[in-house]
Structure 1
Amino acid sequence: MIGLAALEAAAGALVAVGFTRLCMSIDVNPVQRIGQVSGLAAMQLRFILVFIVIALVWWALSRWISRPVALRVACGSLAGLASGLVAGGVAVILRGTEWPLNGTSGDSGQLQQWVFDIQHGRSISDVYPPLFPRALTWWTEVFNPDHPGAGLKMFGMVLLALSGPAVYLAWRLLLPPLWALGLGVVAVFPLVTPAKPYADIPLLILIPLLAKFVETILRAARFSAKASLLSGAVFGAAFGLLFLWYSGWFVWSAPGVLALVIVMIARVAREGRRPALLRAATVMGASAVTFLLIAGSYAIRLISNSGEPDTYMYFDTNSDPAYFVMWQGDQPGAAANGLWPPPGELGGVGVFVLLLVVGIGVALWLGSSLPVVQVAAFCMLGAFLMRYWFASHMERDQLVQLYPRTSAELLYCSIVLCAMAGYLISQKFAGRGAVDPEMPRHRLPISAPALRTSGAVLCALAFFAAMAGSSTVDRLMPSGDQNSHGAQGWTAQTTRLPNGHCPKFAPEGKCHEPKPLVR
């Protein structure tokens, strides 16, 4: 099993990085619209050709080796191809410049400054998660010495390319290959921000990891004391590293997770299963101790600075707080001059939101005892409560406290619940019956899909990835409108390089000086 999981991971990573590298050969001017269109078409052409290769490999492995093995390799590969398309698009956007999206402005500039600070022994923010700035520093020193901007550009593209395989593998802890692929591919495109992929990937991994953790606690009675300690330590280490990488999602998830843990403990205690309660406490205790050993000092700093005010008002903070399915950040583009949120057909609610509502209802109806449904539902409820709490006090306190960032978690949990609704319905129609709540595993006894069925699903998901990826990249294509999402690419293409020259495609050969960084 470990060997097959490694094969899935390797296939996804290879395709993701390989496709990104393939897109780096696209020779267009990303600043001109005709070059942008040609670049998008060249990406799609490469996408189709690579997918054909994946399909042929899947067919050959299915015929001559094993259908389950072939399906796992194909799903892992397509997960890499999906996120590789977006990373390849960023490579096209940044062609001819050494800067990352947004050049030395905003968060990009701050990260580059922190690299210099770490290199020169200066302290960085006590509140910001420390792992990514230090990983970026290591990458810069190894691959892009003395140029953290180029380091951030390349490191960011690698992380963006690997986001698909990472999310797919996280969901493989709970779901069969096709369902893990579908949930992962659908979630990556609306949630991962190409300019900051490192910030969103932890959320996409955290929810399935929490669900697996809850599942392990409920099954802990079947573990030995040693297995309970080891399982808890593994989960604690995973949570600790994610927390050090980006802690914000832990904050928004905390109320829901705490409530769910209390409910689980009460349930086990009410049933009078003392051995189960002791084993569950062992798993949770080992997880907590390991987490504190890895991330405790940063958690203490974060809590001690939790009162630091956030006063940054931007476009999303003026939107209806009940709307969360799309967000514009501080670069709303055309939405700044129109009606936002877009009006819905039924009481102001659009078709997409109605589909989410139906999916959430079905998931709660058919799978309320399943850990993944419980985690998504509790996290969603907790995020809503925190969102409304901070938004309701915004006028009084003149503080934002980052509450619009809950939109990503709310949308992700909604997508998870909708995916689980589809999965549970498929199990019901397949005659599998209800899932035993004492065995809340989603690696259910389901046979490998028929060749035709799995092929159709792979083609459908590839088609969605191609369309969603093209739309995502097109929105980020360089634009001189500083109120649009293309402004970040424009900044990268119009910022003077460290060697004193303008980027190759700077309009009319003109560019501006980068934001000064303290070396």
Structure 2
Amino acid sequence: MTNLAPEAVDSAASTDRDGAPPPETGARAGRAALLERRSVQIAAEAVVSVAAALLLTLLCTRISVNPLNRIGQVSGLAKIQLYAAFLGLPLLAVLVYTAYRGAALRHRLVQRLVCGAIAGLATGVVAGGVVVALRGTPWPLGGQEGDPSQLIHMATSILDDKGLPGVYPPLFPGLIALWAQLNYGGIGGEGFALHDLQIFFTAVAGPMSYLAWRLMLRPFWALAVAVPSVLVFLDPIRPYSHVTMIILVPLLAACLRELRRAGELSTRSVLLRGAGFGVIFGVLFLYYSGWYLWSAPGIFVLTLFLFPWRGGGRAVRRTLLFVGTTVGLAGAIGSPLLYQIAKEGATTPDRYAYIVNYVDPAYVLGWLSDRSGQETYHTWPQAGEMAGQTGFALLLVAAVGIGIGVGLRSLVVRVAAAVLVGAWLMRFYYASHMAHDQMVQLYPRTTWIIMYCLIILAVTGLMAATDRGRGWAERSFRSVGRTEAAGPVVPARGVRQLAAGLVCALALFATMGASWSVDRYMPQNEKTNTMGIDAWRAHNIKKQDGSCPKFAPVKSETPQRPCADPIVKDWEAEPDKKTLHCAGVSTEDWPVVCGRIAPWVTQK
């Protein structure tokens, strides 16, 4: 790992130019010793990250604008930035100050806390934007249509004691049902519960991502992976889906790290570690299971390579015990969903196609939802300068090459590369069978995990190149006569100052990227067919007292039409029509895109 954001600080670095720090005595020494404990630092890092996210989200409840007009939306976005600056700038000031004037040990703790806070503020901006977009309505993004309607109906089925909702992971619908029961009187309150959970889980997505990566990377590099990933992939409508993907990859890397050293551990330690990972993987599987499918081929092959086949009987037995405990406990916890998949999986094919199914399947650096606005597969994605690839694509691929070339010894690089290859092959397998089988099988979702792995490889490539470069400089100067007594070629204080500046740059990117992310969800009329229609729909459903939301557009645009009534019903699986449904395609274009006339034409 690189020393750009070092975890360990030697005694020479801690004194810098000021000589040895004065010895601590009494209560002050006790506090210093407490802060140096690893468990305390980890807990503080987690608490600060989550607190920053929730505090910023809470502040955004004070923003008073009309979210259905663009001027109100812009003012709301600007207010969120002011709140983020109010919370973030003092933290960055302390970070820079300790980088220039503080002791190394103190700066190291400050850096951990500030990086955690920046991760929380990043998704706090997104959650705060959702608060603004839904101001005046208790309904969630999406209202009662699309995926939110399915989640609401699943929660209703759970409250009605109708069992698990098909092959869909039951944990999040179960949370909706539980929150509705606790806060909104049970049946009828599922939509209001989803509203709350969308905001909460959007807010904590940044801390979850950052803390997962802290299992494998130092603070700066964990932030460098977590912030871009969570802002690019986070979907506040379903905040549980992509966050599961983001935290699954570092957890897989951490699990394989324990697998490699299982032979050195005691039986008790192996069992405890295996049980810990088994519980986490089992719960995540119930939270959202799709990413296990795309990750499984690569991780299975990589596990075979990492298994200590020649490590001796003791190592093999301990490793098998670790694997058995992890897989067995994860399977036991995930068994309700595994049973449903085994029972109904073959009878629930995915036949829903949209714009990403109509474009070149080798394009994996962007996507559109079925709310694609005016874009079609003729206009999106725009071709880049080099064989259709953009400058960003070329830079990303170059960084990926560096990551594989100089960082392949890193377990993070190996896991990301293995997941990428496995998902890539499965993507093209399902896409190549789409026309014959008339099934999509969710293969566009591999776009997200492939791009995520590319981001991981690019960041770890920069990390490895920095580490190698510093080591090369040290060796080069030693070879021409520089002695160790002269100190390191690259001073520790200079490294800390550079890291502090880069954290500031990441913080600036986080606020800009988060504002872009949530701006897409600001309410827009359904005629626009953009992502903003989900917030628009939430403002057009009656509240519990039967009145329209405060800013409901129907009150001024069409007074003769009331807001929609809440829909309360159990979840039902849609019948399989045996053919693709090509969404986002005009009636006259159905034969060109889907190879047949539109179904509503045949029904006339």
Query: TM-score, structure 2 length as denominator?
Result: 0.80
- Write the deviation string for residues 386-434 of structure 1: whole angstroms up to 9, x where unpaired: 1111111111111111111111101111111111101111111221899
> Which of 478, 481, 497 matches 1:452?
497
| Paired amino acid for 2:81 | Q
| Aligned counterparts of 2:259 and 2:147: Cα–Cα separation in 1 | 38
Matches within 5 A, 1:184-263: 184-263=226-305
> Which of 15, 27, 44 matches 1:7?
44
- Is the contact made by 2:221 and 2:463 (CA closer than 8 Å) also made in structure 1? yes
| Partner secondary structure for residue 478 of structure 1 | coil
2:551 matched to which residue of 1?
505
| Paired amino acid for 2:142 | N
1:194 CA drift (Å): 1.2
| Partner secondary structure for residue 334 of structure 1 | coil
- Is the contact made by 2:358 and 2:377 (CA closer than 8 Å) also made in structure 1? no
| Paired amino acid for 1:512 | C
Asked if 1:55 is matched to 2:70, the reply is: no
Task: Say if 1:384 and 1:475 are closer, same or farther in 2 by CA, change over 3 A.
Answer: same
| Paired amino acid for 1:210 | L
Asked if 1:296 is matched to 2:335, the reply is: yes
| Partner secondary structure for residue 401 of structure 1 | coil
| Aligned counterparts of 2:541 and 2:426: Cα–Cα separation in 1 | 39
Asked if 1:276 is matched to 2:315, the reply is: yes
| Aligned counterparts of 1:415 and 1:59: Cα–Cα separation in 2 | 27
Matches within 5 A, 1:41-52: 41-52=78-89
| Aligned counterparts of 2:533 and 2:470: Cα–Cα separation in 1 | 49
Asked if 1:334 is matched to 2:374, the reply is: yes
Asked if 1:28 is matched to 2:78, the reply is: no
- Is the contact made by 1:68 and 1:448 (CA closer than 8 Å) also made in structure 2? no
| Partner secondary structure for residue 335 of structure 1 | coil
Task: Say if 1:331 and 1:466 are closer, same or farther in 2 by CA, change over 3 A.
Answer: same
1:197 CA drift (Å): 0.5
Q: Root-mean-square deviation (CA), in Å?
A: 2.1
2:516 matched to which residue of 1?
471
Asked if 1:495 is matched to 2:541, the reply is: yes
Asked if 1:94 is matched to 2:131, the reply is: no
1:123 CA drift (Å): 2.2
- Is the contact made by 2:253 and 2:412 (CA closer than 8 Å) also made in structure 1? yes
1:369 CA drift (Å): 2.6
- Is the contact made by 2:157 and 2:165 (CA closer than 8 Å) also made in structure 1? no
- Write the deviation string for residues 450-494 of structure 1: whole angstroms up to 9, x where unpaired: 552232122101110111111112111111134111111111122
- Is the contact made by 2:355 and 2:377 (CA closer than 8 Å) also made in structure 1? no
> Which of 55, 64, 67 matches 1:18?
55
| Paired amino acid for 2:544 | P
Task: Say if 1:497 and 1:420 are closer, same or farther in 2 by CA, change over 3 A.
Answer: same
Task: Say if 1:272 and 1:231 are closer, same or farther in 2 by CA, change over 3 A.
Answer: closer
| Aligned counterparts of 2:300 and 2:377: Cα–Cα separation in 1 | 41
| Aligned counterparts of 2:241 and 2:76: Cα–Cα separation in 1 | 27
- Stretch deviating more after TM superposition (364-373 or 176-185): 364-373
Task: Say if 1:318 and 1:448 are closer, same or farther in 2 by CA, change over 3 A.
Answer: farther
- Is the contact made by 1:67 and 1:448 (CA closer than 8 Å) also made in structure 2? no
Aligned residue pairs total: 505
| Aligned counterparts of 2:311 and 2:69: Cα–Cα separation in 1 | 69
Task: Say if 1:378 and 1:304 are closer, same or farther in 2 by CA, change over 3 A.
Answer: farther
| Paired amino acid for 2:65 | V
Matches within 5 A, 1:44-443: 44-58=81-95, 63=102, 66-146=106-186, 147-265=189-307, 268-269=308-309, 271-307=310-346, 308-336=348-376, 339-431=379-471
| Aligned counterparts of 1:304 and 1:322: Cα–Cα separation in 2 | 33
- Is the contact made by 1:101 and 1:489 (CA closer than 8 Å) also made in structure 2? yes
2:567 matched to which residue of 1?
516
- Stretch deviating more after TM superposition (219-228 or 409-418): 219-228
| Paired amino acid for 1:513 | A
1:59 CA drift (Å): 5.8
- Is the contact made by 2:540 and 2:554 (CA closer than 8 Å) also made in structure 1? no
- Is the contact made by 1:344 and 1:350 (CA closer than 8 Å) also made in structure 2? yes
| Paired amino acid for 1:479 | Q
Structure 1: runs of 5+ lacking an equivalent: 435-445
| Aligned counterparts of 2:229 and 2:65: Cα–Cα separation in 1 | 30
| Aligned counterparts of 2:473 and 2:497: Cα–Cα separation in 1 | 24
- Is the contact made by 2:540 and 2:548 (CA closer than 8 Å) also made in structure 1? yes
1:447 CA drift (Å): 7.1
| Partner secondary structure for residue 204 of structure 2 | helix
1:120 CA drift (Å): 2.1
1:122 CA drift (Å): 1.6
The structure that has the greater radius of gyration is 2
2:507 matched to which residue of 1?
462
| Partner secondary structure for residue 161 of structure 2 | coil
1:356 CA drift (Å): 2.1
Task: Say if 1:135 and 1:223 are closer, same or farther in 2 by CA, change over 3 A.
Answer: same
Task: Say if 1:418 and 1:221 are closer, same or farther in 2 by CA, change over 3 A.
Answer: same
Query: TM-score, structure 1 length as denominator?
Result: 0.93
| Aligned counterparts of 1:502 and 1:40: Cα–Cα separation in 2 | 25
Structure 2: runs of 5+ lacking an equivalent: 1-37, 475-490, 571-604
| Aligned counterparts of 1:447 and 1:94: Cα–Cα separation in 2 | 48
2:576 matched to which residue of 1?
none
| Aligned counterparts of 2:295 and 2:522: Cα–Cα separation in 1 | 33
| Partner secondary structure for residue 66 of structure 1 | helix
Task: Say if 1:66 and 1:206 are closer, same or farther in 2 by CA, change over 3 A.
Answer: same
- Is the contact made by 1:103 and 1:514 (CA closer than 8 Å) also made in structure 2? no
| Aligned counterparts of 1:140 and 1:125: Cα–Cα separation in 2 | 17
- Is the contact made by 2:96 and 2:501 (CA closer than 8 Å) also made in structure 1? no
| Aligned counterparts of 2:377 and 2:443: Cα–Cα separation in 1 | 23
